[in-house]
Chain A
């Protein structure tokens, strides 16, 4: 049961690649967070997954093997693009009717009830709604399609903190009630930590890391030790990021064995998702080799603890 599968997926605009060689598998039932700096290829990946952009190379399938953009895929995938595009000259009610006419099944009763809850009048022009209300309108229309996969491109950007919480709560409710899988891109790493259980990091048009959050947290450690021995220590493990101080150096490393013995003077700490994300974002050259296989490196032999 894979919600999203991409194989060597790439998109080139002119001479530059917006995304290349992206091979990725997201199982069903997750809220997958897609993070990366601006221009890393997040929107490109989402647009191709939603069937909006035609790949230059590779393939993208959704909902257990349906090509992105096919009728079956379109019927089961709802996409809220960046800035939540709505027809500004149409009323919220017209937007709902439009959605109804462009889809086979739309739960209009649900949409009306949700818009009423949100205090969005049906007769108000979408362009006259606040940014947050436009986002909520777009999310409501997407949820009313009863999708199996919901793709949200930077949905939190236009929202204030309270609206952000409400928005994420609505997404979580849909996941719990209808089993919707979600792919969500955002810069709000701290906010994602609370909701995401799958993480995808993109940087410079390349996939850096993808995996379940629990596995990623278990698979990364922060090693702290004397700077003089940093190079020696770093040569024995896969270092994602190095923060070198005068006396102490912090190495964020990839490891599967948390009980492995440490060199003298070194300590191993658990990491938070935000630390993992930030480490990858600050080291755009590092990418995970073959996704599911864990990297095994020779471990230090001397015990310290």
Chain B
């Protein structure tokens, strides 16, 4: 460290010092006040709506579930409840679910892209980056403070949304592993928000313009999201079973338990793959999971992920998303160090 080899000079501060977090809290708050007010305000407004509408949906769903089913046949009253739920509650719930898909990138892009790009556009970086606190430290403090704040907000909002969406899981034949549900729940939702914020900040520093950075953030985030969907089936949480009867495909309200089946195949008596015609007949017929049977000597295989593996999957996905976010933030700081003006 060159800092340590310099001769001590009276009246000069040469020692490296930790980030003054308390001061940077004020700086971050004052400079990002619009973001820090707008994001919680919008989330709070949506939260109020989710609570009101969620209570109604939960009420309707309870009535639906409690309606007696005789011999697998719904009574007309129950059928009416069901159709009311599907035509009254679901459309709004569906819109909320779609908006929820966009929430991380909206929060992240609008908070992240302008964070540094605005300073570069307005020229205020020439003020901020020549103050006593080294600019890398300023950036680290801002990225950390804003990132943690946004992730906590998103996490809390994700909990509320998961409660809100509960009634729709069974009626829409979804479960916690369905892509769009998995994305918007647990710790993966705040992780996606953090990644979107980090992408925005990085591209803002790269492009030095707010609008191009915003647009590019949407694209890069979409790529990360699709990448996550493609990767998800590769996590080491899959189970392979033969002639499985331990899961039912459509589940019940009390056991919304159809798993995520990644692939299915059939083998013949000698263990060799069955001919396509036989395999198709078996797979398209009522297989073991539907109460049917497989011809003797043949075996139906399933590679699938049980619902109980939800949390391990959440930790794996949130883990690599967090690594990605930290890497992007490190890249942002690296750009700040070397690419000023």
Contact = CB atoms under 8 A, between A and B. Distances in A.
Given A70-B3, A75-B12, A87 B31 contact: yes
A233 to B, nearest CB: 46
B122 A88 contact: yes
Given A85-B126, A87-B124, A72 B23 contact: no
Contacts of A77: 130
A53 interface: yes
B129 interface: yes
Interface stretch (A2-10, A93-101, A213-221, A259-267): A93-101
Given A54-B340, A97-B26, A138 B134 contact: no
- Give the size range of A's interface with the partner: 35 or more
Interface in A88-118: 88, 90, 94, 97-99, 101-104
B27 interface: yes
A81 B123 contact: yes
B3 A72 contact: yes
Interface string B1-45: 011001001001110110010011011001100000000000000
Given A53-B341, A104-B132, A72 B13 contact: yes
A42 interface: no
A47 interface: yes
B131 A76 contact: no
B23 A74 contact: no
Contacts of B23: 101-102
Interface in B196-251: none
A6 B160 CA distance: 59
A29 to B, nearest CB: 17
A79 B126 contact: yes
A101 B122 contact: no
B271 to A, nearest CB: 64
B63 interface: no
Interface in B319-341: 337-341
B13 A104 contact: yes
Contact of B124 (A54, A78, A86, A101): A86
B306 to A, nearest CB: 52
Of the candidates A71, A75, A83, the one having the most CB atoms from chain B within 10 angstroms of its own CB is A71
A52 interface: yes
Q: Tell me the dominant secondary structure on chain B's binding face.
A: loop
B131 to A, nearest CB: 4
A138 B127 contact: yes
Interface string A44-73: 000100111110000000011111011110
Given A52-B341, A85-B124, A86-B124, A71 B27 contact: no
A221 B20 CA distance: 56
A254 interface: no
Interface string B247-284: 00000000000000000000000000000000000000
A94 B126 contact: no
Interface string A273-292: 00000000000000000000
A130 to B, nearest CB: 18
Given A52-B126, A81-B127, A87-B124, A101 B16 contact: no
B123 A85 contact: yes
A54 B341 CA distance: 8
A102 B341 contact: no
B138 interface: yes
Contacts of A30: none
Nearest to A63: B12
B6 A102 contact: no
B4 to A, nearest CB: 12
A98 B30 contact: yes
Contacts of A69: 134
B30 A90 contact: yes
B102 interface: no
B14 A74 contact: no
30 contacts: A47-B340, A54-B337, A54-B340, A66-B6, A67-B2, A71-B17, A71-B132, A72-B3, A72-B14, A74-B130, A74-B131, A74-B133, A74-B134, A75-B12, A77-B130, A83-B123, A85-B122, A85-B123, A85-B124, A85-B126, A86-B124, A86-B127, A87-B31, A87-B124, A88-B122, A90-B30, A101-B20, A102-B27, A102-B128, A102-B132
Given A71-B134, A85-B123, 13 more contacts: A52-B130, A52-B340, A53-B341, A54-B337, A64-B9, A72-B12, A75-B13, A87-B122, A98-B30, A101-B20, A102-B131, A102-B133, A103-B132
Interface of B: 2-3, 6, 9, 12-14, 16-17, 20, 23-24, 26-27, 30-31, 122-134, 138, 337-341
